[in-house]
Structure 1
């Protein structure tokens, strides 16, 4: 009588290169989604919400003196960005141009001019923008007034120094980011940390820089989607592991039932012809379904048939 070989533990089925690589890739993806992608989008959404709140608050309140917003060291708190302030002094030049910063999808140059305050400190002022001629040429634009003026604008934080070095072109110093510290080095002045973005109608303003739209876009939904993907990926792996385990259990139960059916006594009947019996030995075992629906012979039925034939 044949016996069914011992079955290996179910978990060893998944210790194959395919399953292991799939598990590692899914684990890496979920970790990246939770720690990088989702926080990246959610953080952008939070920053935009804070920016919108600051802009709304700025126009809900009257402009305040510049000195009341700056810290003791002349820097600006991020919570005070977009505050409307007033500053009195005179433009002392020279103009520095910000390049490769389109405005409303129009190739443009933004004009940045040092402004000496009545207390002797220097503040960088973004006077607005002018459209580029032929996408690259600097057009003529009005010079800043030379008299003492009082400006009203919105305080902006230093953008930081761009990796691309400043350049001299068409008679102007050109930069790739608005960094008062860097522009101060180019113009030989010691500037305050924030800069002033002029509003329309102010002395020396060109085309005023448009204010951002008060919306946050799809960053919140993108962040939630990455969280969902990070959950669904391992959940899908668990589902396929459970489905594989269930299919193997069903297959094993079918094998056991077939073995029991082969071992049960068969009713007496006319003996088959010798030639037919010999031809059928090892070929007439009961067929069975494989794990995934195909039919194949029971691997134990041939041995059982031979044993029955020898006992006759």
Structure 2
């Protein structure tokens, strides 16, 4: 069998089998890395999502949010909404597409925090018409929410008052003001009198599913020896067919063939 393996035909098959094994290993490793990423994300959510809030300026600054340590940190901020609200286009919420609503919260020190106040459904008058959105409360307001890192700019030209993503350059251009890097997903919002104002729908809770990545990784790794197994079976069958001393199995005679005589 080893001599038969070192023939051009089976050496080519061996090369393909080894190539497949390497590919299967890499794909399995990639799937398992996706699984580990989601495990780490859930651990971060467990540590941050229901924790006591800390001042927003302890997390947000002029530098990007450190995703591996600060994402979903619960924060609080007191300030005043100053400026028009922005609509972030094509955002899903509970499997329905609409707009997320951004508002600029000016802090006492003059810096501005981007607050994602929630979600509104597309207008029933068509995509070209912006939906009606409840105004942000006037006066001093205290918000509690979760920090998220800024998104990548989509570089799209949209109608005034709309952006394609929550990207710092796009938001700063729309508001004509500098903002802290990252944004806050609103949990609660209260005025100085302790009342809550009408607001867009809450965003759905963050996804905590692990998905099928771990199972896919194990499936890829289990198929690593598949090519070698097929080669072994192929050579074994080839040698058996060439064996002239092999006793042939008697041919079975069907009952209806016997009745024909």
Question: Which runs of 5 or more structure 2 residues have no equivalent in the other structure?
Answer: 191-195, 252-261
Secondary structure of the 2:64 match is coil
**Structure 1 residue 112 displacement after superposition:** 1.3
Say if 2:50 is the partner of 1:50. Answer: no
Count residues with an aligned counterpart: 241
1:131-182 per-position Cα deviation (integer Å, ceiling 9, x unaligned):
11236242211111231211111000112222xx33333xx33222211232
8 A Cα contact 1:167 1:174, kept in partner: no
Q: 209-218 vs 37-46, which deviates more?
A: 37-46
Residue 225 of structure 1 corresponds to 219
Say if 2:82 is the partner of 1:88. Answer: no
8 A Cα contact 1:167 1:173, kept in partner: no
**Structure 1 residue 110 displacement after superposition:** 0.7
Structure with larger Rg: 1
Say if 2:121 is the partner of 1:127. Answer: no
CA distance in 1, matches of 2:208, 2:33: 17
Distance 1:20 1:117, change over 3 A: farther
Distance 1:182 1:223, change over 3 A: farther
Residue 197 of structure 1 corresponds to 185
TM-score when normalising by structure 2: 0.78
C-alpha RMSD of the superposition: 3.0
Residue 76 of structure 1 corresponds to 65
8 A Cα contact 2:21 2:227, kept in partner: no
Distance 1:115 1:30, change over 3 A: farther
8 A Cα contact 2:14 2:228, kept in partner: no
CA distance in 1, matches of 2:201, 2:98: 10
- Aligned ranges for residues 122-201 of structure 1 at < 5 Å? 122-134=112-124, 136=127, 137-162=129-154, 165-169=155-159, 172-200=160-188
CA distance in 1, matches of 2:156, 2:161: 7
Question: Which runs of 5 or more structure 1 residues have no equivalent in the other structure?
Answer: 1-8, 258-287, 295-312
Residue 88 of structure 2 corresponds to 98
**Structure 1 residue 85 displacement after superposition:** 0.4
TM-score when normalising by structure 1: 0.67
